[in-house]
């Protein structure tokens, strides 16, 4: 990914040099030349911010309704450093036949004691070699009632916003999330030969 970032930055530098050289010899009005240079310069920053979301940072989107737990990490709150804590979950979405539908994705959840206990219990099963399936019950949604430090898809830690820029934050205190052993894969009927 680092080479992709370097390549993209180099491409923008070449584009900026080309734009500047064309502006020196063109007969366009000065305000058109200035606007073109300004827009190109602004896109350097936009590109840099956009690439942070592509570099593997955890997302704050809602977890899939059914997923298999690949791994998790609980970062507990620390009053000394003003860290609110968070929970990282690496999960694979499951289809209707209990088969992983996509590649694993990293999720960042806001910390709560109940959620941390559930995740830690599921991770202990995972450590013992038991495949664990997570399930989210959307029927009892309390998302509006919860008070966290999430602001439109960003999680703040130590006064700085995280680079994850998804706009649908997952907020849960652990009441809607449950874990169980992964059921076996549902195989299709073979039918007559």
Per-residue pLDDT of the chain (193 residues; tens, 9 = 90+): 567 778 877 888 888 888 888 888 888 888 888 888 888 888 877 777 776 666 677 888 888 999 999 999 999 998 888 888 999 999 999 998 888 888 898 999 999 999 999 999 999 999 999 999 999 987 544 444 444 444 444 455 455 555 444 444 555 566 788 899 988 888 878 878 6
Q: Where are the alpha helices (DSSP H) in the chain?
A: 2-25, 30-54, 113-127
Distance CA 185, CA 114 (A): 30
Q: What is the pLDDT of residue 116?
A: 93
Classify 13 as helix, strand or coil.
helix
Distance CA 62, CA 48 (A): 25
Terminal CA-CA length for the chain: 49
Give how far Cα 9 sits from Cα of 18, 71, 89, Å: 14, 33, 31
Classify 96 as helix, strand or coil.
coil
Provide CB contacts within 8 A for 135, sequence distance 6+. Answer: 65, 66, 177, 178, 179, 180
Work out whether the CA dihedral 121, 126, 130, 131 comes out positive or negative.
Answer: positive
Q: What is the pLDDT of residue 174?
A: 64
Q: What is the pLDDT of residue 50?
A: 72
Domain ranges (residues) in the chain = 2-54, 66-181
């Amino acid at each position: 990914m680092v080479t992709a970032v370097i390549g993209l930055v180099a491409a923008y530098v070449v584009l900026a040099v080309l734009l500047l050289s064309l502006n020196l010899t063109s007969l366009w009005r000065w305000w058109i030349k200035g606007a073109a240079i300004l827009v190109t310069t602004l896109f350097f920053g936009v590109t840099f911010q956009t690439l942070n979301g592509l570099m593997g940072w955890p997302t704050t989107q809602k977890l899939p309704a059914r997923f298999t737990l690949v791994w998790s990490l609980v970062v507990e709150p620390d009053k000394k450093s003003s860290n609110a804590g968070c929970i990282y979950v690496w999960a694979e979405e499951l289809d209707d036949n209990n088969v992983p539908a996509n590649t694993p994705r990293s999720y960042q959840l806001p910390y709560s004691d109940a959620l941390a206990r559930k995740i830690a219990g599921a991770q202990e099963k995972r450590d013992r070699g038991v495949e664990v399936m997570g399930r989210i019950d959307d029927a009892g949604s309390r998302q509006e009632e919860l008070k966290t430090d999430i602001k439109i898809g960003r999680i703040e830690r130590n006064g700085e916003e995280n680079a994850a820029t998804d706009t649908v934050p997952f907020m849960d205190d652990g009441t809607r999330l449950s874990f169980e052993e992964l059921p076996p894969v549902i195989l299709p009927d073979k039918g007559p030969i």
